[in-house]
Every structure is written in C-alpha cells, then in structure tokens.
Amino acid sequence: MPDDMVEAHLHGVRNALAAGWQILQHGGPALDAVEESVVVMEDDETFDAGRGSFLNRDGRVQLDALIMEGATLRAGGVGCVERLRNPVRAARKILSESPHVYFVAEGAEKFAAEHGVVLCKNADLVIPREVERLREYQQEAARHGNDLFAPSISHDTVGAVALDRDGNIAAATSTGGTLNKAPGRLGDSSLIGCGCYADNLSAAASTTGWGEPIMKLVLAKWTADRVAAGNLPEWAAQEAMNYLKQRLNGHGGIIVLNAQGQFGIAHNTPRMAWACKTVRKEESGIERGAM
C-alpha cells in the first residue's frame, strides 16, 4: 500500500472490526459478523473491493466475493459482477437462499436483484483515483513493460474470519481483482478453498495477494488442513506463506482462525493491514498480519 494510505487502511480495518464485533457481542452468528465486516470494507474506497476497486483493462470494475459457514459448509460466491456495490451481500443470499454455491456475471446480478439486492451502474463503482492509476499503469506498460504481479503492486483484497459464542466459525473474502486484469478474469478470492474457506473441524481462512498462485495451491483449504492435522493457526498461516513463496514464488497474506479461538496472521509482502479482537484484547497494525 502507498505510504500515504497507511492510516486509511488502519482506519478501514478498525471500522470493519467494530462492525463485526458488535454482532458477536450481541450473540449474533459468525456468518453475520464476517458479512458486515466485509461490507464496511467494500464501502471504503481505500480497499480493492466494492466502490474504488482496481479497474480492469477496459476501465471497468469487476467484483468477486465468497462467504462460507464452518458449521454446515454452506457457501455462496459471485464472480465478475459489475453492478453490485456489495458483492458479499449477494454471496450471502446465495448461501442462504440457493441450492447452488456460485453465480457469475449477469446471472449473479439477476439472482441478487431477484432476492432484494439493489443493482447499481458500473460507473458508480469507479472513482477518479483508479482511473488515473490505470492510465499511469498502461502508459508505463506500453513504454517499458510491467510485472502485473510484482509484490509492490497493491492487491488490497479484503476478508474477515470470526468465531461466535456457539463455537461456529465463518469466513468471507471480497475483491476487485488485479489492476489492468483482462475482462472476465477470475481470481482466488471467490473460489471456495482458494481465497476463502471455513470448516468448524479445521479453520476459517481468508487470503489476499496474487490470485493465480493461490488458486493453484488451493491455499485456504491447504491451510485449514494443516490446522485439522493439529497445527496451530499461527504456524499454519506462516507455513502457507512459505509454501506460496517457495512453490510458485507467489506473494500475499492470510488470516486463519479455528473453533477454539486460536488465530494466525501472516504475509510475505512488504505490508498488510490487519485488525483482530477477542474478549481479552484488541489489536491492529500494518507490519504483520490481517483481518
């Protein structure tokens, strides 16, 4: 993240934390908590999710999101949607009201509209900062060529994991994808087991970063499996980042939480914004971790 946006990121994750914690504090389910946390970040133009997301090669916003419940393994996901301010809301509708797990593009938007989610214009999701960012990137690429997946290129996918008083965990992830991506490109964020996963018997996990390597490793599920094998989430999170780097030279970050309330935060990028709260304490930061 650019130096001048560090405070904005911290402010954003703290607001998301407050929204999710309010639900948990009043006895609400983890699924509601992660949804509301992610909605806050989708509404915050700081992040690559919802309004203010990175633009694709054609200058349009295309969004992906997934939400998953650890108690039942129910999940809902949307991909390549262009008219949803909060794709995680549509993903939640799919989880709750559809026998399917995944809808894409116009089909996802139609399903969302039929289930009470208000559609918007794609232009409503585009902000001047991102128009300028895309212009500069494309000009630089035309002159010198650019590494689309360099660690210094922000990815800014948002996610949340939560544990409620009933012992259930949940996870949600939402993104606008990679800057200058090809139209129709789908990243890891909304793919079950790749950028998001939750199972009470293992862990809830949400990833951020370069999507293609994360997809190839099915990294969220890989990490949850390490927890199921008896490893602490803290260890599993760090091992996931090591695995991502060593196997495919990928970069990103991950947050992991098990049903015992143990959590892990790790990344192999220069910075990642994070926040976490338990009944004992609250923490947030930039240099090590995420919520």
pLDDT, position 161 = 98
- 157 an active-site residue? yes
52: three-class secondary structure by DSSP:
coil
Q: Look at residue 149 and tell me whether its pLDDT is greater than 60.
A: no
For the residues 258-270, what does the mean pLDDT come to? Answer: 95
Pairwise CA distance, residues 237 & 68, whole Å: 19
Pairwise CA distance, residues 184 & 7, whole Å: 32
Q: Look at residue 262 and tell me whether its pLDDT is greater than 50.
A: yes
Pairwise CA distance, residues 212 & 217, whole Å: 9
Residue 24 lies in a domain: yes
Residue 259 lies in a domain: no
pLDDT, position 153 = 59
Q: Look at residue 124 and tell me whether its pLDDT is greater than 70.
A: yes
**Torsion angle (degrees, nearest 10) of CA 30, 28, 93, 252:** -30
Q: Look at residue 284 and tell me whether its pLDDT is greater than 80.
A: no
pLDDT, position 133 = 93
Instruction: Report the number of distinct structural domains present in the chain.
Output: 1
How distant is the alpha carbon of residue 24 from its chain centre? 20
Residue 291 lies in a domain: no
Residue 218 lies in a domain: no
Containing domain of residue 111, as a range?
3-202
pLDDT, position 288 = 35
Query: Looking at 176-251, which runs of residues are DSSP E strands?
Result: 196-198, 204-209
Catalytic residue among 46, 157, 175, 178: 157
Residue 155 lies in a domain: yes
Q: Look at residue 147 and tell me whether its pLDDT is greater than 80.
A: no
Residue 104 lies in a domain: yes
What φ, ψ does residue 206 adopt, rounded to 5°? -140, 135
CB atoms closer than 10 angstroms to residue 282: 12
Residue 74 lies in a domain: yes
Q: Look at residue 202 and tell me whether its pLDDT is greater than 70.
A: yes
For the residues 110-129, what does the mean pLDDT come to? Answer: 97
Average pLDDT for the chain: 93
Residue 245 lies in a domain: no
pLDDT, position 150 = 55
Q: Look at residue 89 and tell me whether its pLDDT is greater than 50.
A: yes
Q: Look at residue 154 and tell me whether its pLDDT is greater than 80.
A: no
